[in-house]
Each structure stands twice: as structure tokens, then as C-alpha cells.
Amino acid sequence: MTNEYKLYGLNSNPFREVSAEAIEGIYLLHVSQKIDGELACIVGELSEGGRAVVAFVGELGIGKTQRLRWLEEVAVKSGIFRIFLGVERDYSLNIKRLFESGLKQINDKMGFMGRLRPPQYVKEIKKSLKQKKEPVELGILASMMLKEQKPSYILLDNIDCGDNNFMEFLTALVNNLKAGSLLCFTCNKEIFKGIRETNPSFIERINKLYMLDGLEDKEAELLVAKRLAVSRSVQNMDFLFPFTREFVYSLNSQVHGNPRALLKGVDDALCRACNTGMPIIAKSFG
């Protein structure tokens, strides 16, 4: 198949990867909203002895994982201790992956000689994993690991998949979170409602709760423009070409501002336009 995208000054279709999990350099494509400035302030406060529990709540594709990936990139670039975990339904697997990620970073930092005489908390973690300690004990150990490696992040994506054991672990972690530590998690509205009803004390310990809304029209326009810029092969073109502003605004209204649904809609429109040789994608095309 020839590259029909050249008709629009593009090397390829820049809208194929719609999920944050699949995108590299996510900060380059991220469209900042008010909450992102607040999140940046929270991150800055960690180095000054702050601590925070942050929750992102919203529907699929609204931008929850994207925020966690941004935090992960910030940590990687700054050399900050961080654990990113996509939560699964298997509690034992979640705990294993979480501590393995942390221990690997600690081992890498200690070097060969340090690994010969690891600190006591590392010995405790390894011992507890072998003995399959209770969730509360493991939550306390996780908080200790964060304290010793501060500033430090634990980023938990989609705790919708967790179970009672994982929530017990998470509650103990939050209750014992120390200065210099950040816990950030995502879930959908239904799961959050359930947690609020069954574990109100956990909800009270959340320092910043973000109920994510959809993109405004200008934000949707910027999101599309950023994606187009990545694949643009011809300079000095209108930043939205081949889309009109009216098309993007209309589509954003149809998907209620959901970024993932917006990108899927734009992807579909671009493919159809290529197949028909449509010179410009206007509102009527949708």
C-alpha cells in the first residue's frame, strides 16, 4: 500500500497509538490541563519533605494512566526511586512485581559491595516475601522502602483490578507513608464509590483527588495538532491540516471530551479520507 498520507503532508498516521501504555516520550504529546500544574507543585514539594496521596478517577481513556506515565518519566529523568505497577487481579503477583521493581533499583544503587551487606529493611522485605506475610505488614514494609529511598513514588494504575488483600496492603501503605513519598493511583468512578462506602478512612487520607473531566475544545485541538506534528513531512502547513477546527470541535463534543475516543475518531476519519482522496476533513465529513 502506497503512503496516501503524503497527500496531507504526513509520513504516516500519527493517531494509531491511542493509549498511554503504548506511547514513548508521552510528555511531548501531553496536553496540559489545570490539574497538571497542581500535580507539578506536589512533585516539587516532595524534595522539601512533603508527602502526598493522589488519586485520579475517571472513565476509560480520560487520561488517568497518562498522568502516571508522566510522573514515571519525571522520575526516570531525575533519577528518583519509582515503582509503576499496572494492578492485576492476582494479589500475590502484584506484591511480587511491586517489591521486585523496588529491590532491583535498590540493588543497582548499592553496587556489588553494598549487596554483600544489604540494609536491614531490605533483608526484612526479602524475608517477608518468602514467608508470605499479611497485607498490612507488607504495606508497612513498602512505606519503609519508600522512606529509605526518598524522594520516591509508587504509581498504581487501575486498582479496579485489585482485591480485598490488595486494598488492605494499600491502606497500610497510606497509613504509614512518610515524608518524601508519593503514592498515586487510578481507578474508575464505580470502584472509587465502592471504596468510599467500605473504607471511608482511606478516602480521608487522600490529599488530592482528581475527578477527571474531558478535554475542552481548545485542548482537543492542541492534542490533534501535537499528534500531527510528530508525522508532519511538509513544513509551513496549517497545524491542523487536513482537519478543520470545526471538525475537531464537533468530534470532541460527540465523545464528551474523552481523549482516547477523540483520537480513535480522528484516526478513522483520516483513514477514510485517504481512501476517498478527500482533500480536507471538514465537519460535514464526520
Which residue in the block uniquely carries the three cell numbers 521493581? Answer: 101
Chain centroid, CA 66 distance in Å: 4
pLDDT value of position 3 = 64
Amino acid 37: pLDDT: 85
pLDDT of residue 29: 66
Q: What is the pLDDT of residue 1?
A: 41
**Could you read off the pLDDT of 252-278 as tens digits, one per residue?**
999 999 999 999 999 999 999 988 888
Residues in the chain with pLDDT values less than 70: 1-3, 18-29, 113, 286
Residue 144: predicted pLDDT = 95
Between the alpha carbon of residue 181 and those of residues 82, 178, 191, the distances in Å are 10, 6, 24
What confidence tens digit (pLDDT) does each residue in 120-135 have?
A: 889 999 998 888 899 9
Report the distance separating Cα 9 and Cα 128, nearest Å: 58
Q: Given this model, what pLDDT does residue 31 score? A: 76
Beta-carbon contacts of 76 under 8 Å, excluding residues fewer than 6 positions away, are: 82
Q: What is the pTM of this model?
A: 0.84
Question: Which pLDDT score is estimated for 16?
Answer: 81
Peptide bond just before 242 cis, omega within 30 deg: yes
- pLDDT tens for 51-71 read 999 999 999 989 899 899 989
